[in-house]
Amino acid sequence: MKLVIVTAVEEFQKDVLKLFKKANIENFSSSEIDGHKNTPQLLKASNWFSGEKNGNESTMFFSFTDEEHIESLFSLLKEFNENLETNNPIKAIVVPIEKFI
């Protein structure tokens, strides 16, 4: 068993749900998060609204699942990202689980 974590901008939330379904990952959780990118100081200084929130509304999905389902999901995510017209790919990582109850 492993933990797969997927992050995506809010715009792709429905797409990620479809990809989890295609990968036969039926049990997962999600949480709304703010995604941030560090920008160079010069750009921050020139921003008239620099006091405003700089985060992007995003969603994090996670599931404890097996290697077979993760491989399927990664294949689907890779295909999805290759066809994007934005600079916000869906990102995913896998974390091995040493113990669980």
Per-block mean pLDDT, blocks of 10 residues, the chain (101 long): 95 96 97 78 49 73 96 98 92 93 88
Q: Please give the pLDDT value at position 22.
A: 98
Domain boundaries, the chain: 2-36+53-96
Q: Please give the pLDDT value at position 48.
A: 47
Q: Please give the pLDDT value at position 36.
A: 74
pTM of the model: 0.81
Q: Please give the pLDDT value at position 59.
A: 95
Query: Tokens 């992050």 — which residue?
Result: 7
Query: Tokens 């990809």 — which residue?
Result: 19
Pairing type for strands 2-9 and 56-65 reads antiparallel
Run of H or E residues at 56: strand 56-65
CATH architecture type of domain 2-36+53-96 = 2-Layer Sandwich (3.30)
Assigned token pair, 28 = 């997962």
What is the C-alpha to C-alpha distance for residues 89 and 74, in angstroms, rounded to an integer?
13
Q: Please give the pLDDT value at position 24.
A: 97
Q: Please give the pLDDT value at position 54.
A: 62
